[in-house]
Structure 1
């Protein structure tokens, strides 16, 4: 638990977001498949990414972790049968079946109570179409993976816009007898495609159609992970809602398939400036200057929803402080995340005093109400914890985030870094569980 005192002065500072969570998962998995050494720097400090590391170690991959540096060594012998606890990590649970099948390892993948309620059939079905031998439990975890996969080239059309499903198929394609093609209905984050090319894999990318050609991965020897944009978004929001201070976000990933949040808040009136742009390992990165801004409500374009899905809880908070009405629809995927995020957004913002209405696939916020601190329960969801922390900073009185420890899933340094910018807002950091 952590307590936050609202409406305190902020202190100008630079924020360096932790390593990107999505990229860290993927680079670790691909590094494990190489026949050479790989050193990953600025690796995410989120618990989910260490869950992936732990599962790879359980398979038999030699991995050393030294702070934000991960060293992966060539493996000599892998286990034939494994039991993998994926914890709270949907990425781990959805990507590793492809790896187990490709390496001819029998496995059982399980997760915590939250992950065990999340849909897995969406990844099981396309893998079976490729020739994968795996079964879920009523479309959920546990997933049992059998040995003896004979993967064939296929063209898979995604029914749900999901970078995780796309990645699972592309990873399986590495072990297939012929090329595998994924057709997306809507463009999702493309980290996997970029990273595969960095590891020497031949890909054809044409608009929303990606073809992967089977082949051996070649280690780039070193890989520096750019800053996590989703983690940076909370500090961008703080900068927008502040009265005088300018916040600078440094070395953050600016992949166009991840930054729809910037497009949406710009439509709302956000004043931001992107500087020092460059490309590292195929990923765009740079610095963002954030200026205090007067925001107005908008209807979020439906085509942007898949690439702003992680930031929608935060957008709900910004909408509560904006003038006018903000409407989010076609975001039903929020209901099957770590928690029912639509419920979490609406329930908690109402506690603060916001005027918000729940929809089946989104929410409508009438902004402009003065928010007041309350005791907040975030349903053990890291994104809700961080979003409601931003709301608390700009609300009257004190707020207790009762399950603040769940921030560790994606952004363990969150409250430590927040204290640098809002030193008078965090009353007692030691209260954090």
Structure 2
């Protein structure tokens, strides 16, 4: 499908509540399936990626009921699935499930295949296979990529020192550690998202300081609980960016998850000159919540340090789009992780921004973007939902309409994106 976005003729405005956080939704589905008793999930993100993870837990024996926007999972006793577990386009789903299943006692003696679509099958899995194998996991892959065949076996806790901070790798190891003998410790070189560490205690799992790092002891029993999923800051970032770019706009974003390990995007755009006010520090289920108010702002190019990258890793296509409309030069370094996402986000964003007349230089681990006029024209998502949405937001300040090919990939993470941005006053048309 093609999405055509027209330049904004008027300022954007209104109240906006984003869909549920995707990272939290994945973890709630997995832990709910692992836990004994009933887990009640409010605000679960209804997207292709999270549905794939929930469906995989059902295939493994968890019972799932939905009513009135609430998902109830009865888990605790798993069984080998009748066929492959298809995680679609979800890197979080496949990597976290690999960790959760690698040592599960109910599944030992079985062979469980995890598969995904063409895009997911190109993404690197060695980063989880290698540490899990050191614990005793038996995982077969296709040259370090999906499909994965897992033969659950007895695991032994170990200390893992990661070369790159990664929430998905850390979480896969911690989930495997739940079913390992002894203690499992993960040490990272920097900060990564801590949703798993925040959620595990709600299921009755104790974590402790690994001096440094985070540690979990095997053999702990997970018990069902109630989880309220906060609004997804990564989804809200698109409405926030639209409000910044279009002059005179004023948008209030409510119910946003304000986890400090996700604060990188807001910190970066504030450094660029964004007028963003933050209110509230209420917590729910271990996750801070609050409200953001954003106004149209004159943005300026900045240098983004490598240590800022992990705290905004998913938002960098959008940051590059904002840089294209900012005054001056934005330099991004230390972001090579972007090359192994749903697409090579460095190469793809550089190519598509150039098609809109933006001066951009591709680097091995980032890019240099020089802000200026943005032409209209035709661009392509390259099968990447965040690329599609980032280009759609930038199109609001283009000189002429922008048409985005293969924009249907937005459905994998944010099915209501077009409707939500339209509600703020933007003109976007599906073709």
TM-score tier by shorter-chain length is over 0.9
**Runs of 4+ displaced beyond 3 Å:** 65-68, 74-77, 205-208
Shift of 1:80: 6.2
1:91 and 1:67 map into 2 onto residues whose CA distance is 26
- Is the contact made by 1:116 and 1:142 (CA closer than 8 Å) also made in structure 2? yes
> 1:138 aligned to 126, 135, 143, which one?
143
- Does 1:156 find its partner at 2:160? yes
Alignment of 1:142-291 (within 5 A): 142-147=147-152, 149-205=153-209, 209-214=213-218, 215-220=220-225, 222-291=226-295
Aligned to 1:124, what secondary structure does the other structure show?
helix
Alignment of 1:99-114 (within 5 A): 99-101=100-102, 102=104, 103-104=106-107, 105-114=110-119
Native 8 Å contact 1:44 1:68 kept in 2: no
Alignment equivalent of 1:389, drawn from 389, 392, 399: 392
2:334 aligned residue (323, 330, 335) = 330
C-alpha spacing 1:387/1:66, structure 2 compared with 1 (3 Å): farther
- Following TM superposition, by how much is the alpha carbon of 1:204 offset from its aligned partner in structure 2, in angstroms? 1.0
CA distance in 2, matches of 1:344, 1:77: 40
Matched with 1:117 is 122
Q: Distance in 1 between matches of 2:338 and 2:80?
A: 36
Q: Distance in 2 between matches of 1:80 and 1:356?
A: 48
Shift of 1:21: 0.3
**2:402 is the alignment partner of 1:399:** yes
CA positional deviation for 1:44: 0.9
Distance in 2, matches of 1:57 and 1:10, equals 45
2:83 and 2:166 mapped to 1: Cα distance?
Answer: 27
**Do residues 50 (structure 1) and 51 (structure 2) align?**
yes
Q: Is the 8 A contact 1:334 1:341 kept in 2?
A: yes
- What does residue 293 of structure 1 align with? 297
- Given the superposition, is the C-alpha separation of residues 203 and 338 from structure 1 closer, same or farther in structure 2, using an over 3 Å criterion? same
Q: 1:373 aligns with which of 376, 387, 402?
A: 376
CA shift, 1:185, in A, is 1.0
Q: Any unmatched runs of 5+ in structure 1?
A: none
Q: Is the CA contact 1:8–1:422 (under 8 Å) kept in the aligned structure 2? A: no
1:245 to partner: Cα distance: 2.1
Question: Are 1:320 and 2:324 an aligned pair?
Answer: yes
Distance 2:179 2:65 in 1: 26
Q: 2: CA distance between counterparts of 1:158 and 1:67?
A: 42
- Asked if the contact 1:59/1:79 (under 8 Å) is kept, the reply is yes
Q: Which moved more, 1:91-100 or 1:388-397?
A: 91-100
Distance 1:396 1:175 in 2: 56
Quote the offset at 1:65 in angstroms: 3.5
**Cα offset, 1:164, TM superposition:** 0.5
| DSSP-derived class of the 1:37 partner | strand
Query: Which residue of the partner structure matches residue 30 of structure 1?
Result: 31
* Cα distance in 2, alignment partners of residues 414 and 207 from structure 1: 42
RMSD, aligned α-carbons:
1.5
Conserved 8 A contact 1:59-1:82:
no
2:354 corresponds to 1:353: no
**TM-score normalised per structure 1:** 0.95
Deviation at 1:68, TM superposition (A): 4.1
- Post-superposition CA distance 1:276-316 (Å, at most 9, x none): 33111111110000011111111002101111111111011
Q: Distance in 1 between matches of 2:70 and 2:413?
A: 17
Distance in 1 (CA, whole Å) between partners of 2:249 and 2:204 is 44
Q: Provide the secondary structure at the position in 1 that maps to 2:155.
A: coil
2:156 counterpart SS class:
coil
State the 1:141 CA deviation.
Answer: 0.9
**The one of 398, 409, 417 aligned to 1:414:** 417
After TM superposition, the structure 1 stretch with the greater mean CA deviation from structure 2, 10-19 or 182-191, is 10-19
Residues in 2 aligned to 1:77 and 1:388: alpha-carbon distance in whole angstroms: 42
Quick check: which one's strand share is greater? 2
Sort the Cα spacing of 1:76 and 1:265 in 2 relative to 1 into closer, same or farther, 3 A: closer
C-alpha offsets along residues 89-109 of structure 1, whole Å, 9 cap, x if unaligned? 111111112222314242011
Work out the number of aligned pairs and report it: 425
- Matched with 2:18 is 17
3-state SS of 1:134 partner: strand
Query: How far 1:362 moved relative to its partner?
Result: 0.6
Distance in 2 (CA, whole Å) between partners of 1:406 and 1:80 is: 28
Distance 1:373 1:207, change over 3 A: farther
Between the aligned partners of 1:33 and 1:362, the Cα distance in structure 2 is 39
Secondary structure of the residue aligned to 1:13 is: strand
Native 8 Å contact 2:80 2:112 kept in 1: no
Distance change in 2, residues 1:76/1:165 (3 Å): closer
Tell me, which stretches of 5 or more residues in structure 2 are unaligned? Answer: none
